[in-house]
Structure 1
Amino acid sequence: MKKMQLTTKIFIGLALGIVLGIILQPNPEIANNYIKPFGTLFLNLIKLVIVPLVFSSLVVGACSMDDVRKLGRIGGKTVAYYLFTTAFAITIGLVLANITNVGGGYTIPADATYEIAAAPNVIETLLNIIPANPLKALVDGNMLQIIAFALIIGAGIIGIGEKGKNLQSFFDSFAEVMYKIIAVIMNFAPIGVFALITPVVAVNGPSVLLPLLKLIIVVYVGCALHAILTYSLTVWGFAKISPVQFFKGISPAMVFSYTTASSSATLPISMKRCEENLGVSKSICSFTLPLGATINMDGTAIYQGVCAIFIAQIYGIPLPMTAQLTIILTATLASIGTAGVPGAGMIMLGMVLHTVGLPIEGIAIIAGVDRILDMMRTMINVTGDAACSVVVAATEGELDRSVFEKTAKAK
């Protein structure tokens, strides 16, 4: 067991959790009361380091660029990649949903009602990126504000030159402490994954899944296609990295994000794997991944497209091409407009449905299987963050190809 790779251990924990979850379906309270707490404890340990890790690593990443113009250039590339892939993702979702007639034959339940939280407008979100009280942003875990504050501090350290070296060294040491803590916590990842997946399987049995199985399959196929087409082509086209090598390198983060359904909780693992398995420089990882965990929602975009068509079809409302183009535009912009908002996926879907005149009550039909859908869309979100990190690193000449040479020699 000591010689076994962490990825293999996590897969074993996932498989055992699924098996036990199936066994406990008649008594899901056992899974919730006695197994789930261990998963919650593991997630709390991960969340413990997220804010200090993101803040310190972003400051260090900004400082290591030595030039504010370079910081702006990398930021532009990162946001452009995220917006492009999000638009492409929702297009895949819409095409698949239309081809498969995803809502065909489904009967609307009589009690389908749903109230969605109000979504912030894009202007309000953009204004709130700069925190009036940065300490409050750190305490509340407001990622967009934390990112902005860290980049401002990093730019300020660059600006004063030699005088800022001591402060840079402090943040560098602080980030290394966080990495060490994460390394220790990750030893318990297989147990955490086991404890998190068991109650999900136990609670979401066939009675919940079977009526909406077609919707789940279409979303999963759309996410798989997006990963194969978009991420494979971009990492190969820009970085000349084999897609197999890419997915193998980031697989621990993919498995973990699928189980936890949390991009933020997976962030420490993504940073570690991008740097050690994919050769991305620490400065690029420190910038692209925290930003991606906040605003990149490729998997969520696929979910929006499929669910919008599903709801339109079950209510018998035709969606012309103009309305579907509106969905692409709305969901792409909403991925930033709802960044950092709890339940962003549901809020985004509510915005999309409202924009094209579809009944928001349709979300109630999907809510029962949302956790199953959330697991897959989160995994794609995390994978997209890693792909962006690789692409940006390659275009900036900060991709260490010796990492792949070592892997080849090991084989």
Structure 2
Amino acid sequence: MKLTKYIIIALILGLGTGIGFNLFAPEAFVYVDNYFFSPLGTLFINSIMMLVVPLVLFSIILGTAGVSDPKKLGRIGGKTVGFYLTTTAIALIIGLSLAYIIQPGAGGGFETQTADYEAEEAPPIMDTILNIIPDNPIQAMADGEMLQIIAFAVLIGFALSRLGDKTSGVLKLVEQGNDIMMFLVRIVMYLAPFGAFALIASAIGELGMSALQAMLLYMAAVIGALLIHTVVTYGSVLKFIAKRNPIQFVRTFIPAMAVAFSASSSSAALPISMRVAQEDLKISKPVSSFVQPLGSTINMDGTAIMQAVATVFIAQVYAVNLSFGDLLTVILTATLASIGTAGVPGVGMIMLAMVLTSVGLPVEGIALVLGVDRILDMLRTAVNITGDATCAAMVSEMEENREESEAEASEAS
């Protein structure tokens, strides 16, 4: 709790520092950002990213090896993917609904003549599926290709569970490697307040109050939808399925959310979110080791909300009426794209470009929302990893209940 308090204080101080520099010393900010904020933030991000690949590899191998029954592994995988797709669709519906209530682009006054944005092309979904199996796993780890690393780790874990005592030495080595990574995560966590301060000060100082004021309604719609999704959707799952107190869950998970907020990266927050889930929230290690790394790659609830609100915003700015069929197309396209574009750099904007194209809206409208996307990216990343942890808690509870029922049935027979 002390560390949580320090991280929150650091975020508040970083927010105030960034606003202060932007309002009173914008020229000095450039110098301070180049030689203090950005280097400090980069060192913090690098120290976390250094641990991501080995931690994902070790944890998923252990998680898969711990689930020795292939049927159980398939059941956990099915529940996980089903949860992510369902909550993404719910997030899109919430985002679209709130955008139509708030009407962020209806006021006019937005400069569309000079708006320009060149969208990157997303890879075909079939290519993404085929590339899940790496032709060179070492290269996949060097490139940080998370889906390929996860697939490779699952295969190794399955082999270890099947071979049993023959490979007990390898399994022990993986367990020790995982322990080393978790120890390093605890060390890195002590740097979190300094990294959070530097990252938020840099983001706010560069963004500026004028950009925030111009896009206030758009930001309000996105933030409101993120809050509703977290409280209602995740809160309901935690309360009624995972059998946990949602408030206590979020309070315990705050350190991971704060790191995700400051780093704007689900992968960067993964080591901390897994440590908090396993050690503080007491979520099953095999389940957490499988569900959370997969979620950091394909769970896009926060991004889906941004896409829904941005689509309505851009439609209103360009005075285009979206039909009910168009809205269904937005939901379907964004839900499928959340997996189809997994692991692609700049995935949020690539997915948004796909959604806009699917309903005939100009891709150039993305330029209107780019100015404030950094701060919203921080918020939606925190929501994304909360969804990963919620899914892990749900699956863990469901598997424990199933095992208890099977044990009782076995005793009765």
- Same fold per superposition (TM over 0.5): yes
Alpha-carbon shift at residue 206 of structure 1 (Å): 1.1
2 CA distance for matches of 1:304 and 1:398?
36
2 CA distance for matches of 1:272 and 1:32?
31
Aligned to 2:182: 179
Aligned to 2:169: 166
Aligned to 2:4: 7
Aligned to 1:29: 30
Alpha-carbon shift at residue 108 of structure 1 (Å): 3.3
Which residue identity lines up with residue 38 of structure 1 in the other structure?
L
Aligned to 1:254: 257
2 CA distance for matches of 1:333 and 1:241?
30
Alpha-carbon shift at residue 13 of structure 1 (Å): 0.8
2 CA distance for matches of 1:390 and 1:398?
12
Which residue identity lines up with residue 220 of structure 1 in the other structure?
I
Aligned to 1:383: 386
2 CA distance for matches of 1:369 and 1:18?
15
2 CA distance for matches of 1:152 and 1:398?
27
Contact 1:56 1:172 in 2 (8 A): yes
Alpha-carbon shift at residue 71 of structure 1 (Å): 1.0
The 4+ residue runs of structure 1 with deviation greater than 4 A are none
Contact 1:281 1:398 in 2 (8 A): no
Q: Identity rate of aligned residues, in percent?
A: 48
Provide closer, same or farther for how the CA distance between residues 398 and 139 of structure 1 changes in structure 2, counting only shifts above 3 A.
Answer: farther
Alpha-carbon shift at residue 36 of structure 1 (Å): 1.7
Query: SS of the counterpart of 1:396?
Result: helix
1 CA distance for matches of 2:361 and 2:167?
54
Per-residue CA deviations over 1:136-172 (Å, capped at 9, x if unaligned) read 1010000000000000111111121221211111111
1:369 pairs with 2:372: yes
Matches within 5 A, 1:230-241: 230-241=233-244
Which residue identity lines up with residue 17 of structure 2 in the other structure?
L
Aligned to 1:403: none
Q: List alignment gaps of at least 5 residues for structure 2.
A: 403-413
* Equivalent in 5, 13, 16 of residue 13 of structure 2: 16
Query: SS of the counterpart of 1:365?
Result: helix
Matches within 5 A, 1:9-408: 9-25=6-22, 26-27=26-27, 28-33=29-34, 34-109=36-111, 110-397=113-400
Which residue identity lines up with residue 357 of structure 1 in the other structure?
G
Contact 1:31 1:199 in 2 (8 A): no
Query: SS of the counterpart of 1:339?
Result: coil
Alpha-carbon shift at residue 31 of structure 1 (Å): 3.6
Alpha-carbon shift at residue 22 of structure 1 (Å): 1.5
Alpha-carbon shift at residue 225 of structure 1 (Å): 0.1
Q: CA RMSD in A?
A: 1.2
2 CA distance for matches of 1:348 and 1:116?
10
1 CA distance for matches of 2:346 and 2:42?
18
Which residue identity lines up with residue 175 of structure 2 in the other structure?
D
Contact 1:257 1:382 in 2 (8 A): yes
> 250-259 vs 282-291, which deviates more?
250-259
Contact 1:31 1:198 in 2 (8 A): no
> 29-38 vs 193-202, which deviates more?
29-38
Contact 1:36 1:198 in 2 (8 A): no
Per-residue CA deviations over 1:186-226 (Å, capped at 9, x if unaligned) read 11110111111111111111111111111011100000000
Alpha-carbon shift at residue 123 of structure 1 (Å): 1.1
TM-score normalised to structure 2 length: 0.94
Which residue identity lines up with residue 130 of structure 1 in the other structure?
I
Alpha-carbon shift at residue 297 of structure 1 (Å): 0.4
2 CA distance for matches of 1:87 and 1:375?
21
2 CA distance for matches of 1:143 and 1:369?
28
Contact 1:81 1:388 in 2 (8 A): yes
Per-residue CA deviations over 1:66-87 (Å, capped at 9, x if unaligned) read 2122111101110000000000
Contact 1:21 1:31 in 2 (8 A): no
Per-residue CA deviations over 1:38-92 (Å, capped at 9, x if unaligned) read 1100110101110000001110111011212211110111000000000000000
Which residue identity lines up with residue 62 of structure 1 in the other structure?
T
Contact 2:19 2:209 in 1 (8 A): no
1 CA distance for matches of 2:280 and 2:328?
38
Contact 1:96 1:222 in 2 (8 A): yes
Which residue identity lines up with residue 78 of structure 2 in the other structure?
G
Alpha-carbon shift at residue 353 of structure 1 (Å): 0.3
Contact 1:312 1:319 in 2 (8 A): yes
Query: SS of the counterpart of 2:363?
Result: coil
TM-score normalised to structure 1 length: 0.95
Q: How many matched pairs?
A: 396
1 CA distance for matches of 2:20 and 2:308?
34
Query: SS of the counterpart of 1:216?
Result: helix
Aligned to 1:406: none
Q: List alignment gaps of at least 5 residues for structure 1.
A: 400-411
> 335-344 vs 243-252, which deviates more?
243-252
Per-residue CA deviations over 1:281-319 (Å, capped at 9, x if unaligned) read 111110000000000000000001000000011001110
> 262-271 vs 389-398, which deviates more?
389-398
2 CA distance for matches of 1:30 and 1:20?
14
Alpha-carbon shift at residue 398 of structure 1 (Å): 8.1
